Chains A and B, each alone.
Chain A
Amino acid sequence: MDLSLNDTQRLIQDSARDFVRGACARDALLKFDRDPAAMMDGLWPQMSELGWTGMAIPEAYGGTGNAMTDVAVLFEELGTGPVPGPLFSSAVLCARILLEAGSESAKKAWLPRIASGECVFALALTEAQYGWSAKSIRFKARNEGADFRLTGTKVFVHDAQYATDLLVAARVEGGAGVSLFRVDAKARGVAIRALDGFLTGMSEVTCDNVRVSGDDLIGWAGDAWNALERALLAAVPVLCAYQVGGCKAVFDMSVAYARERTQFGQVIGRFQRVQDHVIQIVNHLDAARWTTYEALWKLDSGADAAASIHVAKSVASESYMRACDFAHEVHAGIGVVREYGLTLHTRMSRSLYHCLGAPRLHRKRLETALGLAPA
């Protein structure tokens, strides 16, 4: 039993912390929020140089083959920003999908370029009938000789606006099952439109008769879902770690504010009702933290991690959102001033709530994992 970080993880944590404090201080994050392109110009080359784009990719494909817990330690720190951008989508989620579903030639073609940061991948899976299960996928692909033609709309796609390449889940006409295609984000017929509102980094992706070469079919036609689901499951706890980082940040902000803000002649942290909000935040933080890291440990040690992963995502998605809510109760007016920075988290907590499946989906899957419901 050892619940501490190992030396490698401590190094990762230190460099990520320096990065967040330096390049991603509040003013920088507010600037990136207004101008996402500046974020890609400013941060992405640094992230690649630090080796973060290759951490979840095996050495054979140009990465460093780190344990998922190592990757999660990085993402927990990035979550404290919250540092936006496609690192998770590209270097964790899509890299994992290619590893699980791709042929050897597809892995050799794309993983080294993801690892170097040259390519930025995003997963286009969810559609108008929003959901993260196979039955929600209706997007059509049509076989045309050795090629395919893709037509349809994906929506609430995370990080598509930064992507050079998309992994698109579709159904090939005339066949059952889900297929996966790599689509050049700049290909003719692809339109990516960032969505505006109380969300971060989500887009609509439309394909209008987009031609995709047969080489860019990832895995077998109609047979990608199982591999896709394995990859999604493995990526979930890393996303949870990012949410843990978010909880940690709003906890630290709330503690600092409760200690310095004075009303009725004393700091508000002396009021038990304010204390209760802060306690709720730390309880959510720790629930998310320990369920997440136990799931990661099971994943890394090859144990059956499914139930723990479902618990972790159920808890972490709920916790990040609730932690932000309680932070707003502590901060009151100043909390909703955009310049203050809390709302970056609040918005991120909402944006990630459904990413890779909302708590409701993971609780349903947990019923099966616990043998309470048939698979």
Chain B
Amino acid sequence: MNFAIEDSPEQSAFRAEVRAFLAQAVSPKLEHSVDPCDMSLEQYQLRRDLGRSLGAQGWLYPSMPKEYGGGDLSAEKVAILHDELSRIGLALPPYYDAGGRMSAPTILVWGTSEHKQRFLPPICRGEVRTWQLLSEPGAGSDLAGIKTTAIRDGDAYVVNGQKVFVGSSHGADYSWTIVVTDPKGERHQNLSWLMIPMTLPGITVTPMDLLATGGEGGSGSGVKNAVFFDNVRVPADHLIGGENNGWKVASTHLEVEHGGMGRLADRRVIYEFIELCRERRDGYAIADDPGARAELVELYIEAEITRLFALRNHWLAHTNQPRSYEGAQYSLRRKLSGLDISEKMLRIAGPCVLTKDKRWGPLRGTIEYFQRDAITALHPGATTDIQRVIMARRIGIGGREREKAGALR
């Protein structure tokens, strides 16, 4: 076995290349707001510029095929890219593009060759930003119970309904959206996916006021929105994966969202917190207290297990190994250990973790944000309970037949 993401001269050279590239491509004006909701339009544009530079190299979506603007890179090189971006406080993509991140692998599996030619290159090159639209006021865990309809009318689907917990600040070019295309059809056989251009008439976006945005470390998602569709006419060729075949298509989308790919270089804040506790100021370090040390070690072990699950999933997905329950297992662990770690931080360091005050909030307020984010992160991409349901099915004890993991390529 080899747990090193960099273990050959070629890979070391690649890391040097990436580092040199980023030194050039990352604007000196780029700043990191602690709370992604505070990211200005100018800062967002700087991240999009970086995305286009990465995309031109095939590095924005490095595991996608080259012919669609990806990099066709190995598991190691993809990991090195994540690692180098994380080192400078960014993620891959460096801005919120969850719609692209989930739709690109999904289109790769379920799209026609025309869909792939048309939709994948702009995503991979960073020319468009895409949101994902799944949840509705009446359909969270029960995704198949959505009500937003898309009814065929000539050369278009007419979309009506409301989606919630959508996207980010500063808009999007596309919305990767799951809809009901057969309102009278049977459950699971009435759904489809649409790639909806956000410029179409009849779309209204309203921000939601949330505790935090949840997840997406380093990519700065910003505020979540409610999106209303009022007789929006979407060209029929924007339906991907076949009409009423959306539940099957969702299996790939959800496999990615549920952590099937593993999220590397995540949650640096945890390791920074340990560093903080080691630091000696005015002759005192938090780690001087034996009780605090004991909790810190627990926190470290929690973080290490989560890191290893992510690494394992990254390797499984990028080397086409058989997978079953691992995606949901990682997601479950990430959510629960995140919450657990946030509570340990509170116990260890005291109420300073609750403030973003410039004088009293540690690590520029990132710990305060983590306190809110760990709670918010419990729901996106399915609750912990749903992750357990998926695990049970994949292990082969939940359903009558053992469920297979969603196809990734």
Q: Which residues of A contact B (CB under 8 A)?
A: 1-6, 69, 255, 258-259, 267, 269-270, 272, 274-276, 278-279, 282-283, 286-287, 290-291, 293-294, 296-298, 301, 311, 314-315, 363, 366-367, 370-373
Contacts and interface: CB of A to CB of B under 8 A. Distances in A.
Q: Which of A279, A363, A366 has the most CB of B within 10 A?
A: A279
Contacts of A278: 392, 395, 397
B397 A290 contact: no
A2 B2 contact: yes
Contacts of A258: 397
Contacts of B76: 1
B396 interface: yes
A290 B301 contact: no
A2 B301 CA distance: 23
Contacts of B297: 363, 366-367, 370, 372
B312 interface: yes
Q: Which of B79, B333, B388 has the most CB of A within 10 A?
A: B388
Given A278-B395, A366-B297, A371 B278 contact: yes
Interface in B204-257: none
27 contacts: A1-B75, A1-B76, A1-B311, A2-B2, A3-B3, A6-B1, A255-B397, A258-B397, A267-B397, A270-B397, A274-B397, A275-B388, A275-B392, A278-B392, A279-B391, A279-B395, A282-B395, A298-B3, A301-B4, A311-B300, A363-B294, A363-B297, A366-B297, A367-B297, A370-B297, A372-B278, A373-B287
Interface of B: 1-5, 7, 75-76, 79, 274, 277-278, 287, 293-294, 296-298, 300-301, 304-305, 308-309, 311-312, 315-316, 321, 325-326, 329, 332-333, 388-389, 391-392, 395-398
A296 B2 CA distance: 10
Contacts of B1: 2-6, 69, 293, 296-297
Contacts of A6: 1
Contacts, number: 122
A290 B308 contact: yes
A286 B334 CA distance: 14
Given A1-B79, A279-B392, A372-B293, A259 B305 contact: no
B315 A283 contact: no
A5 B398 CA distance: 30
A338 B115 CA distance: 60
Nearest to B330: A286
Nearest to A370: B300
Nearest to A360: B294
Contacts of B2: 1-3, 297, 301
A6 B2 CA distance: 10
Given A1-B3, A1-B5, A372-B296, A294 B308 contact: yes
Contacts of A291: 304-305, 308
A272 B277 contact: no
A270 to B, nearest CB: 7
Contact of B277 (A279, A301, A372): A372
